[in-house]
Structure 1
Amino acid sequence: MERYGRKKTFGACVILTAAFIFIQFFARTLPVLLVGELLGGLVLGTYATIAPTYASEASPIALRGVLTSYINLSFVMGQLIANGVIAGTSQLSDHWAYSGPFASQWIWCLVILVGWPFAPESPWFLIRKGRFDEAENALRRLASKKVDVKPAMAMMIETDRLEQELEAGTTYFDCFQKINRRRTEIAMGVYSIQVISGIYLVGYATYFFTLAGLPTDKAFDMSIGFLALGFVGTLCSWVLLQKFGRRTIYNTGLAALVVLLLVIGILDCVPGYTENAPLIWAQSSLMLVWNFCYGLSVGPVCFVILCEVSATKVRSKTIAVATATQALVGIVMTIAIPYLINPDQANARGKIGFFFGGLSALSLVWSFLRVPETKGRTYEELDIMFSRNVATRHFKEYHVE
């Protein structure tokens, strides 16, 4: 991205994704399918870095929260669409049962490639490359015709100059230098908390509801409702982001997740749980409420904080480091969750709420101490405040001179 730009990198990745889908679609043996999945997965990982970087650099301050949090909505919509496609092909008895879902991905590649030429390059990238005329044209395309982009252009050039003076750097090593270390820690922390707070349970929703005692058809319906509430929660977060600070929404939402997870765990300890249908429904309903709260706070606001705390010169690399950290934590959870909930293993059922509730409580303590308020701040102001090592609790009212 730093050599060729966000737009070209993204376009190349979409083309590679479309190419690797061919391998998955025509695979008739497990080794070939594995190769296709691995190659496709390598490219898919780049989108988690490109999307937040581009969204944060192409949006004005007023819309920055909404547009970066939209990334979480995209994940939820993808899961809903995937569930619908799988439900439609699961009854097939030939190779289309698995080839069909792979083929459906080509539709999105086509839609993206049709719109790709009309997307401007990131003005921040162009400014760092000294291509000021192109940067100004990109800003004009992103703004209304009535908006004078000159002040924004001047601010961006000044921010880039300031980061050069602060020696923010441009390499992965610079993400861990003293000037950027705190910002990288926050980015890694908020992204990892997505996993630590239990979001990977989404993939096990139907199975979890079945273990809780619900009939299979009802469990599937609940899993769809689970995702739908996450969708609604993310939409509602846009209203909150305009009225309240990122820190307030994030910490309040995380606290709510702690309470809900602990209550879910407590309900599973009630004597006669397996024969108590109302109790099972209550526990399952709390899972739905949990996902709504997650979609309202930790899920979308994570991406807002992730983008805003990163220095512009190393934003893509900071996001990449945070994404890699989240992926490593995700691998651990992917391995651990089946052992925790499977009846022939730990058989934790709803008691898994104690596990994730405890981790979420520890995350809340860290978040309260480390995640600052970034709402309404320009990137230049954030650079100055981080360079001055302003205390977390003072970010909201700090006046930059």
Structure 2
Amino acid sequence: MKITDDIIYVGVNDHDIDLFEGQYIVPNGMAYNSYVIKDEKTAVMDTVDANFAEEWLGNIDTALGGAAPDYLIVQHMEPDHSANIAKFTEKYPEAKVVANAKAFQMMSNFFRGMNLGDKKVEVKNQETLSLGKHELTFVFAPMVHWPEVMVTYDSTDKVLFSADAFGKFGALDVEEDWDCEARRYYFGIVGKYGKQAENLLKVAEGLDIQTICALHGPILKENLEHYIGQYKTWSSYGVETEGVMIAYTSVYGNTKKAAETLASALEAKGCPKVVLCDLAREDMAEAVEDAFRHGKLVLATTTYNGDIFPFMRTFIEALIERGYQNRTMGIIENGSWAITAGKVIRGLFEKSKDLTWVDTTVSIMSSMSEENEAQIEAMAEELCK
């Protein structure tokens, strides 16, 4: 696949994978992207997952008509992108490997005994490499989402090779909505490092970017304002969609009934979007994504062993780990003799920033009472302000 006259896609699609990074469900597989830049000197941008070494090397061979590349540029050392560095150097022993100091340090740990010798080209932040007419500038992007990450800007074709930034789940031979799977990918994998992603976006604002080539997901050429705008919202923990997410866990159905009652009350009051999520059955990464997407979140759960129901704790810990902030929140708690869920939830969020709790807390003793129904109505009123 040609991206520009000189840039060719040489990545692969993985439809055998069921869990990305051992935890994220990927029903439409994954793409491991790699690119070739053809010029007086030829560069390969990153490798692919270990399971696709021969296919990837074959793609490079086809793209270059059997010629040997001059450089392998390593932007990110995560094994789904770096696993074939040694195999590349074996096939192309004259090629030089370009990376930063932290990447080379990691490389020595992943590839014990590999000695690059004078084939090692260590670059610094904002340093450039000329391929001929193509001038590449390396921009360090630490913790987006590993410390060694850098992105590469080709000022000739105005392409940003963005490493894991702007990536998404899904293979390239399957059509699906970018926003949904890019959002799930961002908040699952990059979300903790919002400040670092913002720093990268500030650098990107100063570049004339016409194409974004990420290490996962499609090549982005049109409507770049939308993709960059989404990343600005996500990295700043901004609200993407006005609405309320109600995340619940329920043992015997009483807490679920309360959550559904609140959802109905919100819809009756004209809430623009209401999302009801059963945390025991929903993909947890999808639930986390929805929590960051919407401006308001209600947590409804039972008291469980003096704590909260396990799926709710897992959900909250995932939010906190990713810096959940700048939201309005409410609590529906349930217990049959000693209700502690609300206290536990507030304690978990104690160090989180810019959270506004609604005045009404719904406290249910086993099953909903008339008082609880009135509390739910009051909570809905607050959330709809």
TM class, shorter-length: under 0.3
Larger radius of gyration between Structure 1 and Structure 2: 2
Q: Higher relative contact order at CA 8 Å, sep ≥6: structure 1 or structure 2?
A: 1
Larger strand proportion, structure 1 or 2?
Answer: 2
